A and B are shown apart, each in its own frame.
Chain A
Amino acid sequence: MKPMHSKIIRWFSAATAVAILAGCSSGGAPTVVNPITVAPPVADYTGPASANADVQAFRINLWENIKGNNRCGSCHGAGGQTPMFARNDDVNAAYQAANTIVNLSQPDQSRMVEKVVSGHNCWLQAPSACGDTLTVWIRNWAGSTATGGTQIQLQAPAIREVGGSKSFPATSAAFGASSLYALVRNAGSANCVRCHSSSAATQQQPFFADADVDVAYAAIRSKINLDTPAASRLVVRLRDEFHNCWGNAGCGNNADEMEAAVTAFADAIPITNVDPSLLISKGLTLYDGTVAAGGNRYEAATIAKYEFKTGMGAIAYDTSGLEPALSLTLSGDVSWVGGWGINIKEGGKAQGTSASSKKLSDLIKSTGEFTIEAWVNNANVAQEDAFIVSYSAGAMSRNVTLAQRMYQYEGYTRSDQTSANGNPVLLTNDDDEDAQAALQHVVMTFSPVEGRRIYVNGMFTGDVDAQGGGSLAEWDDTYALVLGNETSTNRQWEGVMRLVAIHNRALTPAQILQNFEAGVGEKYFMLFNVSHLLPEVPQAYVMLEASQLDTYGLQLTKPTFISLATNTTITNVPIAGIRIGVNGLLAHSGQAYQPLSATVGGSSYVAGAGQQLSNVGTVVAIDKTVVDDVLFLSFERIGALSYTPPEPVVPPPAEPADLELESDVGLRTFDELNTTLSQLTGVPQTNVRVRDTYLLVKQALPSIEKFGSFGPAQQTALAQLAMQYCNVMVDDNTLRAAFFGSLDGSGSGTGVFGTSGSPNMANRDLLINALIDKAVGTGMDFQVTAAQIREELHTGFQDPVNLTPEYFTPGLINRLVSGPTGASPLGGRTVMKAACGAVLGSGVTLIQ
C-alpha cells in the first residue's frame, strides 16, 4: 500500500502544482496541459486467459484501456486500492471486481463513471470527458446488453417552496454602474479583464469583462447567484479553484472582494414575490428532476466523437474511447453553450492536430467507407461555403467536408472518382430546403457502392451521388480535422454544434434513424408536486419532460398528471389553464399550456404512467441559470380549486400624430391616362397603334397619384401616348370630324393655318377652340384658362423675368409653320396633331 500511497500523493502534488502555478500567473489564463493521447506501455500480460467471452470482451474493451499506470491502474492495480478492477495480474479477478462498479444495461450510470465524473482522478482536464470515454468502453464491453431502455423510476423531488426570488434586470444599466462591473473591468485590481474580454490579447470566453456592457452583462448572468452571492461562480472560481487570483492578498481575500461586489449588485435588486392568489405547485429546478435515459446511439464504428460537455476551457474532447484521442483546440470566437455544445461565430473553429487526425485516415482507408454525423443549429440560412466538419488542408485540398450552402447541405469527398478537393460536390436539392436554422441531425455517409449520401433528421435527402462510390486510397493522412471552418480559416460556418461523431462505416438508414431518435443533450422528468392542491389524490404531480434547448431556453414537453402512490385510482380531476412560472414570476412568453383543459381519471389515467395532458411542447426563457432557476406551475383550475387571473387591461391605442399635409391634387395614373386620352379623342383603346404605344410606355407612366413622384420620364411617356392618340384621331376622317368639326387640315401648314405674319385665324380658331372645348373645359378656377391655351398655341408668350424680344416664345403653330411643316403638303394635319398632342400631353390631362 505504501508505495501506491506515495504515488497518489505525487500525482496530486503535480496537479496542485500546476493549478497553483497557473493561479499565480499574472499574464492570463493558465496554460492547458496537453492531454495524454497515447496509452503508456504496460508490461505484457502473463496472467490466466480470459475465462469466457464476457471476460474477453471486458479485457478488450475496458481493461486494456484502464490498466495503464497513468490511469486507473495507478491505484486500482494488483495489490492496490479496492476494487482492483485494473489489476494486471489476473484479468478474471479484475473482471470480478469491475462487475461491482459497472452497470452494463445503463453504462453511463455506472459507479465507475459517476466517480470519475465527480472529479475522482480523471486523466484529462475535464472529468466529464473521462466519464464519457469510460462510458463508451463499458458500453463496448456490454455490447447488446446495454439497451438504455430500462424503466425509469421516477423520484419524488424534495419539496421546494416557491418563494420570493430575485431576477436579473432586463437591461444592463444597473450592472454597468455597479462595483462588480468596475471590479471585473479593472486590470489593476483584478485579472478578469485580461482574458474575459473580446479586446483582450488572450481572449477567453465568456466575455463578462467586455468593454461593451451589454455583452458583459449577458455573459456574467450565468456566473452570478443573486439569491446566494457566495455561491456565484465568480466567487467559487476564486475561493475554491484558485483561478487567476490577483495581488498578494490571496485567493480567499480576492473571493471576499468579489462576493462583496456581487452582494452589492444583488442587494439592489428587489425580491419578486409570487402572486398569492395563484394556485401554484411546489417548485423545482431542472436538475431536481429525474434523469431520463436517452435511447442508445449506434456507435460500434465510432472513431471520433465530440459531445462538448466540458463547458469551459479551449479543448473539445474526443470521447469516442478510441485511442489516440483526437481532441480539438477551440480558437477564435467559439463559446460554450448551455445544454452541451459550442457556438461558433465569425473567426471561430475547433481544430485537431494533423498527427492526431491521422487515425481518421488510417481507420477510414481500412474500411473504405465512413460516416460524418453532426447535431448542428445553423446560425442562418444565408451563409455559403460554410464548412461544418472538414478533414482537409485548406480551401483546395481535402479528404472530406460536410458544409452548408444556404438552404442546402453539401458533401465533398476525395475518391478515385473525384478530385483532390472532393469535387464535384454532392448538393442537396435546393427546393427541398434541407438546411434550416434549427437544430438538425445531419449525416453524410460514404460507401464504395453508393458514394455520398446525406441524411437530415434521420431521413435520406434523396440526392444521389452522380460520381457513385470509389476508393478512398488517395486520402492524405497529413490533413487535420476542423469544425466550423477550413484549416485556412476562410470557410466560416456559424452556428451551434452540439455533437459531432465520425464513424469508419457507412451507417445504415436504420442506424442513422436510431442516432437521430436518441437525440442530443440530457432530458429530465420534472415532477411538480400538486398534492396540496389536490388532497383527494395521494402524491399528486404534474410532470414535464424538460431539457436545455440552448443557452437561453428550456424545452418542456408532455405535461402529464401522475400519482406516485401505488394502486391509485383517479376519477375526474379537472385541470385547466396551466402556466409556467420561473423564479416567482409567470413567464411572459411560451405559455403553451394556458389553453389546456383536461379531465384526469378513468381509463385515460394509467397507474404508473399517468395521463398525458397535451402533446405539444414549449420553450421558456432561462432567467438566471439553468441550475438556479426554480420553476413552478400555476393552474386556473385543479380539482375543486379554481382561480382565473384577470385579463390584463389593454390600453386604447394612442391617437396617431398628425402627418404632414399633402397636396390635394395628384397625377392621373397610367390606366387613367390611357382611358382619358381614348375618351377625349374617341380612339378606342384597342386600336393597334395606340395599344402598341401604350404597352410600350405603360410602366413609364405614373403608377401612383402622388404629385411629388412626377418625373421627366413620365412626361415623355405621356407625350408619346398623347401624340399617338392625336395621330390616329387626325388620320381618321370620322374621329377628326367629331373632334375638329369642319377643320379638315388637308394641305400644307401655311396653306391651312397661314403664316405668323398672316395667320388663317378661322382655321386656327377651329383648332384651338376644339381643343379647349373637348380637352380642357371651361368655367373652372381650378384649370388652365382658354387664354393660356391660346397663348401657348398661337399668340406666344414673354418670359416673365426677361422682357426683351429674344425671350419671347412664339406660339406652337407659328413655330411649326415657320419650319418645314409650313411647306409640307401634309403640314396642315401635322400642325393639328402637334397642337392636339401638346394639349393632351400636358398637365390638362395629367393632373386631377
Chain B
Amino acid sequence: MNTPKVSKVKTVGLAVLLAGVAMAASANDRDQAKRIYDRIAGVPPSEATLDAMTALVAADNPLGAALIAVEAPSFYNVTLKNMAVPWTNRDQTVFAPLNDYVATFIGMVRDNVDFSTALSADLTYTVSGVTPAASPTSNAHYEAAENNAINLYGALTPAQQSAVQGIPATATAGFITSRAASEAFFVDGTNRAMFRFTLMNHMCRDMEQVMDTSLPPDRIRQDVSRSPGGDSRIFLNNCIGCHSGMDPFAQAFAFYDYDNGSAEVPGSMRLVYSETAVHAKYFNNDTNFTPGFITPDAAWENRWRRGQNSLLGWSTALPGSGTGAKSMGAELANSDAFAQCQVEKVFKTICFRAPVDQDDRDEVRDMTTRFKSNGYRLKQVFAETAVYCMGEE
C-alpha cells in the first residue's frame, strides 16, 4: 500500500476529477441528448431512451428529444416538485413536504393546463390510490404519497378545489387558495403575506422592486403608522411605496383566513372563507392611524396600472379591478411579468443560472412570447429551454 501521498490527492474524490473532465470536454449529440434528459428529468436516461434521443438530436430535432424527456416520471416527481416546494412556505425551503399547491402545479404542467389560470382556477390535484384522502384540514394525503414514492406522473388526478377545500367555487383562486398557500400565507398577520409571496413566486419581484411612492395612499389600512417612531418621512419615502399598491390588491383576500387556533384552543387547520364580514385581521392595530382605510369588502384595485409598474404589462382585456381573489389572481396571471417570470423560473431550473447576456435575454423574451401565444403550456417551455441549454458541439 504505497499510496499515502497520491491518495491524499485522490481523497477529493472522483467527483472533482470527473468534473474537470466534464467541463473541459465538448458535447457531442449523445452528450446533448443526455443533458437534455438530465436537466428535465433530474436523473440519467436509460440506454434505450438515450439512443432514441440521440438520434433525434443528430437529426437536428433536439426539441423532439426534449419532448421525450418531459414524459419521464421523475420530471414530475423530482424536478417540478422541487421547483415548486419553495413557493409554498415562508422560509422558501425546498425541504418541505409535498402538498396540494405543488401537486396542482405538477398536474397543470403534465396536462398542459393553461397556466394563466394558475392563480384563479377552481382546480386542484389529488393522488389516486393514496390514503388518507385529500382533506381541507390536513396535508397527510400528500405526505403519504411522497413517503410512498408514488409516481405522480401517473397518479395525479384533477379535481375541483372548491369541493376538496370546502369553499364556494367563486372563492377559489388556484394556487392562492390551496391549502398549503393558505397555511403559509393566510395564517395570522394581515393577509398581505399572500400578496407578497405570490408576487415573489409568480411575478419574480419582491416589494422593493415595485415601490412607487407617488401613488395615492387612500387604500392603505389603519395599521400602517403614518409616522413610524415619530418620523413621517419614513412613511412618505418608504412605507407608502409598497403599501399604496399592495393594500388595494390584498383587499381581495378580505374574506380569507387560515384557522390555526391558539395556544389554548386548537384550530381546524384549514382555509376559512366567509363572505359575511371582512376578517378581523384587516382591522389589526386600527388605532395606529385612525383615518386610514377601513376595509369594507373584498373589492381590489390594481393601482400599478399607472406609473412605473405599468411596465409589468397588464392585460388590456381585463378591467384592472374587481372583487375577490379569483379576479385578482387573473389580473396578475395575465400580465407580461407573470408569463416572463414563469419562463425565467424554468430557465433557472433547467440551465442552473439566470439569463446572463443578451442572447439569454432574447431567448427568454422569445420563449415568453411563444408561451403566451401557445396557450400558456409550461411543459413546452421546459423542452425549449432544455434545448437552449443542451450545450454546444
Q: Are A843 and B19 in contact (CB under 8 A)?
A: yes
- Answer whether A843 and B14 are a contact pair too, CB < 8 Å, given A621-B236, A658-B357, A665-B19: yes
B285 — nearest CB in chain A belongs to which residue?
A436
Taken together as a complex, chains A and B put the C-alpha atoms of A656 and B13 apart, in Å, by: 39
Q: Are B216 and A808 in contact (CB under 8 A)?
A: no
Binds B, one of A195-203, A310-318, A698-706, A729-737: A698-706
Q: Are B31 and A842 in contact (CB under 8 A)?
A: no
Interface: B131 (CB within 8 A): no
- The bracket for how many chain B residues form the interface is 35 or more
Taken together as a complex, chains A and B put the C-alpha atoms of A706 and B226 apart, in Å, by: 43
Which of B2, B229, B294, B306 contacts A437, CB < 8 Å? B229
Taken together as a complex, chains A and B put the C-alpha atoms of A187 and B47 apart, in Å, by: 87
Distance between B229 CB and nearest chain A CB, rounded to angstroms: 4
Q: Are A617 and B289 in contact (CB under 8 A)?
A: yes
B43 — nearest CB in chain A belongs to which residue?
A676
Q: Are A377 and B311 in contact (CB under 8 A)?
A: no
Taken together as a complex, chains A and B put the C-alpha atoms of A666 and B47 apart, in Å, by: 22
Distance between B151 CB and nearest chain A CB, rounded to angstroms: 11
Which of A616, A666, A781, A846 contacts B292, CB < 8 Å? A616
Distance between A519 CB and nearest chain B CB, rounded to angstroms: 9
The B-contacting residues of A in range 502-559, CB under 8 angstroms, are: 549-553, 555, 557-558
Q: Are B306 and A647 in contact (CB under 8 A)?
A: yes
Query: Which residues on the A side are within 8 Å of B65 (C-beta)?
Result: none
Q: Are A380 and B229 in contact (CB under 8 A)?
A: yes
- Answer whether A589 and B15 are a contact pair too, CB < 8 Å, given A377-B229, A781-B26: no
Which of B31, B78, B218, B293 contacts A783, CB < 8 Å? B31
- Answer whether A705 and B10 are a contact pair too, CB < 8 Å, given A496-B230, A617-B292, A664-B391: no
Taken together as a complex, chains A and B put the C-alpha atoms of A669 and B351 apart, in Å, by: 14
Interface: A650 (CB within 8 A): yes
Interface: A807 (CB within 8 A): yes
Taken together as a complex, chains A and B put the C-alpha atoms of A457 and B289 apart, in Å, by: 11
Q: Are A676 and B44 in contact (CB under 8 A)?
A: yes
Interface: A615 (CB within 8 A): yes
Q: Are B23 and A665 in contact (CB under 8 A)?
A: yes
Query: Which residues on the B side are within 8 Å of A761 (C-beta)?
Result: none
The B-contacting residues of A in range 768-821, CB under 8 angstroms, are: 773, 777, 779-784, 788, 792, 799, 802, 805-810, 815, 818
Central interface residue in B13, B230, B233, B351, by most chain A CB within 10 Å: B230
Distance between B230 CB and nearest chain A CB, rounded to angstroms: 3
B33 — nearest CB in chain A belongs to which residue?
A780
Distance between B90 CB and nearest chain A CB, rounded to angstroms: 17
- Answer whether A805 and B229 are a contact pair too, CB < 8 Å, given A661-B356, A784-B18, A842-B18: no
- Answer whether A671 and B285 are a contact pair too, CB < 8 Å, given A590-B236, A664-B351, A707-B19: no
Query: Which residues on the A side are within 8 Å of B26 (C-beta)?
Result: 781-782
Query: Which residues on the B side are within 8 Å of A595 (C-beta)?
Result: 216, 218
Question: 1/0 contact trace for B217-238 toward A, CB 8 Å?
Answer: 1100000011111111101110
Binds A, one of B34-42, B165-173, B251-259, B368-376: B34-42
Query: Which residues on the B side are within 8 Å of A808 (C-beta)?
Result: 2-3, 6
The A-contacting residues of B in range 186-232, CB under 8 angstroms, are: 213-214, 216-218, 225-232
Interface: A320 (CB within 8 A): no
Taken together as a complex, chains A and B put the C-alpha atoms of A165 and B181 apart, in Å, by: 53
Binds B, one of A106-114, A231-239, A678-686: A678-686
Taken together as a complex, chains A and B put the C-alpha atoms of A308 and B227 apart, in Å, by: 18
Q: Are A438 and B225 in contact (CB under 8 A)?
A: yes
B248 — nearest CB in chain A belongs to which residue?
A595
Distance between B310 CB and nearest chain A CB, rounded to angstroms: 6
Distance between A577 CB and nearest chain B CB, rounded to angstroms: 10
- Answer whether A818 and B1 are a contact pair too, CB < 8 Å, given A619-B236, A621-B236, A799-B6: yes
Q: Are A781 and B27 in contact (CB under 8 A)?
A: yes
Taken together as a complex, chains A and B put the C-alpha atoms of A588 and B27 apart, in Å, by: 56
Distance between A437 CB and nearest chain B CB, rounded to angstroms: 5
Which of B15, B35, B229, B287 contacts A378, CB < 8 Å? B229
Interface: A54 (CB within 8 A): no
Q: Are A589 and B16 in contact (CB under 8 A)?
A: no
Interface: A4 (CB within 8 A): no
Q: Are A553 and B232 in contact (CB under 8 A)?
A: yes
Query: Which residues on the A side are within 8 Å of B351 (C-beta)?
Result: 664
Interface: A592 (CB within 8 A): yes
Interface: B9 (CB within 8 A): yes
Q: Are B229 and A782 in contact (CB under 8 A)?
A: no
Query: Which residues on the A side are within 8 Å of B43 (C-beta)?
Result: 668, 672, 675-676, 679
Taken together as a complex, chains A and B put the C-alpha atoms of A73 and B321 apart, in Å, by: 69
Distance between A702 CB and nearest chain B CB, rounded to angstroms: 11
Interface: A847 (CB within 8 A): yes
Query: Which residues on the B side are within 8 Å of A792 (C-beta)?
Result: 14
Q: Are B226 and A619 in contact (CB under 8 A)?
A: yes
Taken together as a complex, chains A and B put the C-alpha atoms of A237 and B139 apart, in Å, by: 72
Q: Are B13 and A842 in contact (CB under 8 A)?
A: yes
Q: Are A433 and B216 in contact (CB under 8 A)?
A: no
Which of B217, B228, B353, B391 contacts A782, CB < 8 Å? B391
Q: Please count how many residues in chain A sit with their CB below 8 Å of the partner chain's CB atoms.
A: 109
Query: Which residues on the B side are within 8 Å of A656 (C-beta)?
Result: 361
Question: 1/0 contact trace for B274-318 toward A, CB 8 Å?
Answer: 000000000001011111111000000000001110110000000
Interface: A591 (CB within 8 A): yes
Query: Which residues on the A side are within 8 Å of B28 (C-beta)?
Result: 779-782
Q: Are B34 and A777 in contact (CB under 8 A)?
A: yes
Question: 1/0 contact trace for A617-638 toward B, CB 8 Å?
Answer: 1111100000000000000000
Query: Which residues on the B side are within 8 Å of A809 (C-beta)?
Result: 3, 6-7, 10
Q: Are A557 and B233 in contact (CB under 8 A)?
A: no
Which of B228, B293, B352 contacts A664, CB < 8 Å? B352
Distance between B74 CB and nearest chain A CB, rounded to angstroms: 5
Q: Are A588 and B214 in contact (CB under 8 A)?
A: yes
Q: Are B236 and A589 in contact (CB under 8 A)?
A: yes
Interface: B25 (CB within 8 A): yes
Taken together as a complex, chains A and B put the C-alpha atoms of A685 and B74 apart, in Å, by: 13
Query: Which residues on the B side are within 8 Å of A240 (C-beta)?
Result: none
Which of B3, B31, B225 contacts A436, CB < 8 Å? B225
- Answer whether A777 and B50 are a contact pair too, CB < 8 Å, given A703-B95, A806-B5, A809-B6: yes
Taken together as a complex, chains A and B put the C-alpha atoms of A377 and B287 apart, in Å, by: 12
Query: Which residues on the A side are within 8 Å of B265 (C-beta)?
Result: none
Query: Which residues on the B side are within 8 Å of A379 (C-beta)?
Result: 229-230
Interface: A659 (CB within 8 A): yes
Taken together as a complex, chains A and B put the C-alpha atoms of A194 and B289 apart, in Å, by: 40
Q: Are B95 and A672 in contact (CB under 8 A)?
A: no
Taken together as a complex, chains A and B put the C-alpha atoms of A127 and B389 apart, in Å, by: 78
Q: Are B352 and A659 in contact (CB under 8 A)?
A: no
- Answer whether A780 and B217 are a contact pair too, CB < 8 Å, given A619-B235, A799-B5, A805-B2: no
Q: Are A658 and B229 in contact (CB under 8 A)?
A: no
B188 — nearest CB in chain A belongs to which residue?
A431
Distance between B20 CB and nearest chain A CB, rounded to angstroms: 9
Query: Which residues on the A side are within 8 Å of B226 (C-beta)?
Result: 438, 549, 553, 555, 618-619
Q: Are B149 and A847 in contact (CB under 8 A)?
A: no
Q: Are A671 and B225 in contact (CB under 8 A)?
A: no
Q: Are A686 and B148 in contact (CB under 8 A)?
A: yes
Question: 1/0 contact trace for A810-847 toward B, CB 8 Å?
Answer: 10000100100000000000000000001100111111
Taken together as a complex, chains A and B put the C-alpha atoms of A46 and B43 apart, in Å, by: 108
Which of B82, B95, B291 contacts A699, CB < 8 Å? B95
Interface: A188 (CB within 8 A): no
Query: Which residues on the B side are within 8 Å of A557 (C-beta)?
Result: 291
Q: Are A675 and B77 in contact (CB under 8 A)?
A: yes
Sample of 12 further A-B pairs with CB below 8 A, known A378-B229, A439-B230: A437-B229, A438-B288, A589-B213, A589-B214, A596-B218, A666-B352, A679-B43, A679-B44, A705-B352, A838-B14, A843-B17, A843-B18
A-B residue pairs in contact (CB < 8 Å), sample of 15: A343-B230, A438-B228, A495-B229, A553-B235, A591-B217, A593-B216, A614-B218, A617-B291, A660-B356, A665-B23, A671-B82, A698-B95, A842-B18, A843-B18, A848-B39
5 nearest interchain CB pairs? A617-B291, A553-B232, A496-B230, A843-B18, A438-B225
